[in-house]
Amino acid sequence: MSLKGFMFPRSGTGRASLLPPVPWHYSGQMLTLEYRTDPDAVAALIPPGLAPADEDPGAVALIWAEWQSCSDTFEELLDPVRAQYREMFVVIRCKYRGRHYSRCAYIWVDTDYAMVRGHHQGYPKKLGSIYLTRPVTVGRAGPRLEPGGRFGASLAANDRRLLHATFEIEAESDHAGFVNALPMVHNRWMPAIEGDGSDSLDELVTMSAYEGEIGRCFRGSFELWIGDSPVEELTRLQPRELIAGYWREVAMSWRSGTTLERRNLPEVGGADA
């Protein structure tokens, strides 16, 4: 009997798989904070084969997102523990064969299925604790989506606060910045089981969503604090100049990406069963 399941664990029924089959649908809100840092610090995050962006090579976007996601069956929406999660990611821009891309350099997420889904797509996801103020339409326990609305956002991982930001809406906007506005280019890596420093998977991939939809979008000012950790490197990306912050509603669907390069890996010899 063949095993079923989009991702591990695969089984006779496929029910235990961490991920349902594609396509996947996402709806949520995002807070994007753009600033400029040392271009050399950004260049240090770009692997061989890619190059820094031609313009604004030190531009960075810190993005907090709160998502509800589901598969084409939509059954996850009736079991929201499988649908709701938050993530925080760091985006830079780079160039490959003359074309510019956005690239996720670091990312934290708060559920296992979202982490593994990201690994499939090439996002270097780690587990973290992510919080983002929610807007409200009634009462006083939250900001309104209007000038003066104030939001907070934080990231922690391994018992350490890594980021804290505040954002204040100043006006409506027709865009949500430029750093994360391009198709993504990522690497999919898996070290070989021999532990000799080689990889059994080494691909450069690109992807973008389909059926994207943007809701309300606002621009504003922000303040940012970056904390240190023995297992993180965010302090290398300290701001030199703040650009702007953006809050937006966003939805998209994702089905597949494209392999740009696949490294020729050595053939595997015989092994003990």
Which pLDDT tens digit goes with each residue over 154-210?
999 999 999 999 999 999 999 999 999 999 999 999 999 999 999 999 999 999 999
Q: What pLDDT, on a 0 to 100 scale, did the predictor assign at position 272? A: 46
Owning domain of residue 236: 24-262
Question: Which residues face 251 on adjacent strands?
Answer: 27, 213
Residue 209 domain-assigned (yes or no): yes
Give me the residue label for tokens 């509800």: 68
Residue 18 domain-assigned (yes or no): no
Question: Which residues face 130 on adjacent strands?
Answer: 155
| pLDDT surpassing 70 at residue 268 | no
| pLDDT surpassing 60 at residue 270 | no
Residue 7 domain-assigned (yes or no): no
Which pLDDT tens digit goes with each residue over 34-55?
999 999 999 999 999 999 999 9
Tokens of 192: 């070989």
Residue 92 domain-assigned (yes or no): yes
Q: Predicted confidence band at 263 (pLDDT cuts at 50, 70, 90)?
A: confident
Residue 14 domain-assigned (yes or no): no
Q: What is the mean pLDDT of the chain?
A: 95
Q: Predicted confidence band at 273 (pLDDT cuts at 50, 70, 90)?
A: very low
Q: Which residue in 252, 272, 15, 234 sits closest to 126, CA to CA?
A: 234
Q: Which residue has the higher pLDDT, 131 or 269?
A: 131
Number of compact structural domains in the chain: 1
Share of the chain above pLDDT 70, in %: 96
Q: Number of C-alpha atoms within 13 angstroms, CB side, residue 208?
A: 9
Which pLDDT tens digit goes with each residue over 96-111?
999 999 999 999 999 9
* Cα 133 to Cα 55: distance, rounded to the nearest angstrom: 33
| Three-state secondary-structure class, residue 211 | strand
Residue 258 domain-assigned (yes or no): yes
Q: What pLDDT, on a 0 to 100 scale, did the predictor assign at position 57? A: 98
Q: Say which residues have a Cβ less than 8 Å from residue 210's Cβ, sequence separation at least 6.
A: 252, 253, 254, 255
Tokens of 179: 């750093």
Which domain CATH number covers 77?
2.40.400.10
Residue 241 domain-assigned (yes or no): yes
For the whole model, what pTM was predicted?
0.95
Q: What pLDDT, on a 0 to 100 scale, did the predictor assign at position 269? A: 60
* Cα 263 to Cα 245: distance, rounded to the nearest angstrom: 38
Q: Do residues 128 and 155 lie in contact, with contact meaning Cβ atoms separated by under 8 Å? A: yes
Centroid of chain to Cα 5: 24
Residue 214 domain-assigned (yes or no): yes
